[in-house]
């Protein structure tokens, strides 16, 4: 059985309604094997937490970066609340330890799966908001994101556009992007790669770089900007 007191000590949040805390950790696979569970899955809380986190981070970036235009703020926000970042937050808090999983999800590594961890982070944000209110959930969320926000402020990290593009495409339930090297020029010690990123045979973007990875990242950047603008 999960030790919910230990969980709350780790979070630094003590819930008035314990059922909200527990619901944040209920994976849908658990309900498949425990149909009589009194708790629903964490998916509604995840939906709520996603919107709240978006607002909290937007508000913080608007205050912290008064000189940045909308496009740059959007890029930073996307990096701070992308699946990779939220999974890292969940890992630092050991949220996977308290997940309620079905046996199949358990044996296939569900406690460490990036998507499960990121979704649990969002569900937890939703649960804290419902139980504690906006001020408390804002303080909690910004405390967890502070290391990533600090690195952004100091220019120590740049957005992972491949991850951002993948996430944006997945949100539209489309096939994953494919990267294709169209040209490699120059001697071995000074290669220059040209890459296109395609989705369903349509070219989304292109990029060049001294390595395949760098070229792919530039191509993903151009594709992400193109798709973001088309959705805006």
188 catalytic, yes or no? no
* Contact between residue 197 and residue 223 where contact means Cβ atoms under 8 Å apart: yes
Determine the distance from the C-alpha atom of residue 37 to the mean position of all C-alpha atoms in its chain, rounded to a whole number: 28
If we measure between CA atoms, which residue out of 107, 117, 105 comes closest to residue 29? Answer: 105
Query: What one-character DSSP code corresponds to residue 177?
Result: P
| Cα–Cα dist 13/74, whole Å | 29
Q: Considering the candidates 46, 105, 122, 131, report the single residue annotated as catalytic.
A: 122
Query: What one-character DSSP code corresponds to residue 191?
Result: -
Query: What one-character DSSP code corresponds to residue 26?
Result: B
Q: Considering the candidates 50, 105, 216, 218, report the single residue annotated as catalytic.
A: 50
Determine the distance from the C-alpha atom of residue 30 to the mean position of all C-alpha atoms in its chain, rounded to a whole number: 22
| Cα–Cα dist 207/225, whole Å | 13
50 catalytic, yes or no? yes
Catalytic center residues: 50, 122
């Amino acid at each position: 059985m999960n030790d919910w007191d230990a969980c709350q000590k780790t979070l630094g949040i003590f819930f008035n309604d314990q059922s909200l805390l527990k619901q944040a950790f209920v994976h849908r696979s658990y309900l498949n094997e425990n149909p009589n569970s009194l708790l629903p899955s964490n998916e509604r809380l995840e939906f709520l937490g996603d919107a709240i986190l978006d607002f909290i981070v937007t508000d913080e970036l608007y205050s912290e970066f008064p000189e940045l235009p909308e496009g740059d703020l959007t890029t930073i926000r996307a990096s701070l609340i992308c699946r990779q970042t939220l999974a890292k937050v969940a890992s630092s808090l050991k949220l996977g330890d308290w997940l309620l999983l079905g046996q199949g999800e358990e044996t296939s590594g569900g406690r460490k799966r990036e998507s499960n961890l990121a979704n649990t982070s969002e569900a937890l944000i939703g649960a804290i908001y419902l139980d504690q209110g906006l001020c408390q959930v804002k303080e909690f969320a910004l405390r967890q994101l502070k290391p990533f926000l600090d690195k952004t402020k100091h220019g120590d990290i740049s957005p992972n556009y491949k991850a951002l593009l993948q996430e944006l495409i997945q949100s539209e339930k489309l096939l994953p992007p494919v990267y294709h090297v169209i040209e490699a020029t120059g001697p071995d010690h000074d290669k220059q790669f040209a890459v296109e990123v395609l989705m369903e045979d349509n070219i989304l973007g292109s990029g060049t770089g001294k390595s395949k990875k760098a070229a792919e990242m530039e191509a993903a950047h151009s594709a992400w900007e193109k798709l973001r603008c088309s959705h805006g």
